[in-house]
Structure 1
């Protein structure tokens, strides 16, 4: 099958724009069709917002931004696309008509996906001539940050095309969840709808305001949901006896009158006004774009914290960054671009610049990325082997301020079976050299507490990387002692 390099988006609103941003940031070319007169302005604003978020979130070299083109017709948008993502209004008849048009004009091997949040794939693909290449790919807002995408095929969707879609979405940093049976609302939205119904009743009955409902979630269970979901948290609540004990203890509460899930309040003008007014009061200090940016920053903080734990969405992020690093370094006779980012507020010192300790921290992350690149992973650590840094010479050459971007590059100067001699450069986003760090690392048997030859598979990868660096000139400053000119 053709590799997916060009995507089409039909409908460039909040969801379609989010898809476009994620695809573009992953290096894919994107063509969008949306008849709205402000479509291109809104799309480019979304891409800018997403780029801001990824610069803060992703600590690995990103591919060049893909090319965005706004088409004047649906046919123009889809005719050269390898994957088409339909994000039209949530109306079955509209989607049926649009999907039939997409099917008629798309390449025979193009995947066709719908962003629908609840309509059944067999129903909305009923007018397609080739429904075997169609499926639902339901994302979550903001699409460019949240990794979950629910994949649900119809009666005629082929297993091969589901597999193609799973591989593609995983490759752009997402977590594809295969919904094996067609069901209204799929999995996630059925859970969200249950919470939404109960929340509306609490506001309707005067039990809580919209702000108080949100506080009950964001200061409590929502914090746990971010990394363990529901069942795993409840298993822990059962103590050492686990889920069986929890269900025996709390199962009877399911029969108590705690919920009105089957009884929905009427959406009267009074209820709509009440919810809207309270929501305006809750978020009135933020304009729309500022609130979007605040949401993104909070999600970035959670996801980066989870990455440290290699858990939940953080594990997905870590895997995506590793793939980006591998692609950025394969076969390049250039210093390795292994770590990059933007300076956060907590790194700024009393001089208004990045604190000197953070330079070493960045170089440490670059070293960790190099070790991961040559196979020093958790499996190797469990065997009792790692590389230890035994000597570092750091030079501070220039300043960097809050929010400014940087990239760390790594050149392998020399190596043998036990040692790696490397030279890091820290570059400002504008190309200025900010600092260098020369390091010697030693492979260590952690159980025996002594140096040891690295594993053959590690040395093989290291040899391949080092071979590309042999022709590089010796870096300015390599081999210097403190104060030496």
Structure 2
């Protein structure tokens, strides 16, 4: 495959296309009249380089070359794919196509339009059979959906080529088989948007309240199943047919400004029910519920990382739970005559691997969370770290003793082996009830975040750590402490 693409129009969408192709190893030529185009594209690329590799567990290919061209002809010559991403005005697009055809008569012309019919786009082309719509979603470098739409004169072979091409750069090509204004996704999005605008106009809710109504509820479900399968599952064992029987009449109630509803005839209900059954395949409602639940947990947990939306809600609930089970206590309030409980949690659904038990990385995360909790306890919390001091882990050794599965409640108990000056030497043990699951040994060094070099902790931290270390020195030293892999000293 000739991995060379021309992009005409370097705005938000054109820049996103450039990033998606470039980071997948394609050479990109881009043309845009905006004198700031190069700067704007560079900014999009910086974000894409930061985010896109996080979607894959395999290394990305070497980055392609990027050329900013001075003319459309320079950009499109000899390119097998030409992406058009200019403003949504038909006359502008026709003028661009004329310049493209003057320099290239064979490459696929893929318009990024979000609603103009491809038949209208190709109406003045000398070679209309090669024009398709390839409608992406912002940010193009992350969202995989691309709607492929043919016009009346499009050669179907180009749609098939496009499917393979876009799949090769990590996208999900959706062939919209019927040419219709707005295609599929925008028609669904704009129906919701129209209703939202009416709710604003009627002063029923604010913009923030309307977004919350989606982001904290149906939006999380739509991310994985879409409207049809979500409602099919909501119907329980009766599926979509049960949903239409229960709630179909409500569609004619004056809940909405969008009142044109298809008649729910028996034939239509059966057609919709059959399609939803086909979509579910051999999966029972209980199977779908488990898949849905695992995906929702993963989505909400991902949102925790940026303290956003439903993830922020989950993090706030953590603080409530921590107060209930004593995980918010400080050093002065804990019993230091025994190892200190620094972790108490349930193993999440997304922590298990192909063997069905918690994977190695999650053991480290659980023990690392225990270390963070201990640091908070002795005074090395977010407020202290903001002043410029913290502990860095210098060495870790984990022993995996037994299996633990999703849903199990685990507890981390921590013993201080050394707490003096710049050094903090911790021994963690993970339990499910009385059963020892794993141990982890950590050596940490207090550092200045300004110099990134070892430094002494604050007097308060030093005193708290020393008090616990002296108390724990009376405990039996763990047998495996200080051991290397497979060797006990």
Measured against the shorter chain, the TM-score band is: 0.5 to 0.7
Matching residue of 2:92: 94
Matching residue of 2:457: none
* Cα offsets for 1:187-207 (capped at 9, x unmatched): 000001100100011111110
Q: Which residues of structure 1 form unaligned runs of 5+?
A: 264-293, 311-342, 361-393, 402-479
Match of 2:186 among 179, 186, 189: 189
Shift of 1:481: 6.0
Shift of 1:306: 11
Does structure 2 retain, via aligned residues, the 8 Å contact 1:134–1:157? yes
Pairwise CA RMSD of aligned residues? 3.8
Matching residue of 1:9: 7
Distance 1:200 1:252, change over 3 A: same
Find the residue that maps to 1:242 and give its secondary structure: helix
Matching residue of 2:22: 24
Note if 1:126 corresponds to 2:91: no
Match of 1:146 among 138, 143, 146: 143
Find the residue that maps to 1:69 and give its secondary structure: strand
Matching residue of 1:252: 249
Note if 1:201 corresponds to 2:198: yes
Which one has more relative contact order, counting CA pairs under 8 Å at least 6 apart? 1
Does structure 2 retain, via aligned residues, the 8 Å contact 1:7–1:84? yes
Q: Which residues of structure 2 form unaligned runs of 5+?
A: 261-302, 312-347, 354-363, 373-390, 401-439, 448-484
* Cα offsets for 1:293-330 (capped at 9, x unmatched): x999679x9xxx999999xxxxxxxxxxxxxxxxxxxx
**How many residues are matched?**
305
Does structure 2 retain, via aligned residues, the 8 Å contact 1:93–1:124? no
Matching residue of 2:217: 220
2-structure distance, mates of 1:222, 1:200: 18
* Cα offsets for 1:139-184 (capped at 9, x unmatched): 0000000000000011111111111000010111000000011100
2-structure distance, mates of 1:54, 1:32: 20
Note if 1:41 corresponds to 2:31: no
> TM-score, normalised on structure 1?
0.57
Find the residue that maps to 1:61 and give its secondary structure: coil
Note if 1:54 corresponds to 2:45: no
Distance 1:170 1:39, change over 3 A: same
Find the residue that maps to 1:9 and give its secondary structure: strand
Shift of 1:58: 2.1
Does structure 2 retain, via aligned residues, the 8 Å contact 1:117–1:185? yes
Shift of 1:18: 0.5
2-structure distance, mates of 1:482, 1:357: 12
Distance 1:309 1:89, change over 3 A: farther
Match of 1:242 among 227, 239, 242: 239
Distance 1:78 1:344, change over 3 A: farther
Runs of 4+ more than 3 Å apart: 294-299, 305-310, 343-360, 394-399, 480-484
> TM-score, normalised on structure 2?
0.56
Matching residue of 1:371: none
Shift of 1:210: 0.3
* Cα offsets for 1:29-77 (capped at 9, x unmatched): 1010001011001101111100100233322111001111100011101
From the CA coordinates, give the structure whose radius of gyration is larger.
2
Shift of 1:95: 1.1
Distance 1:36 1:232, change over 3 A: same
Does structure 2 retain, via aligned residues, the 8 Å contact 1:21–1:46? yes
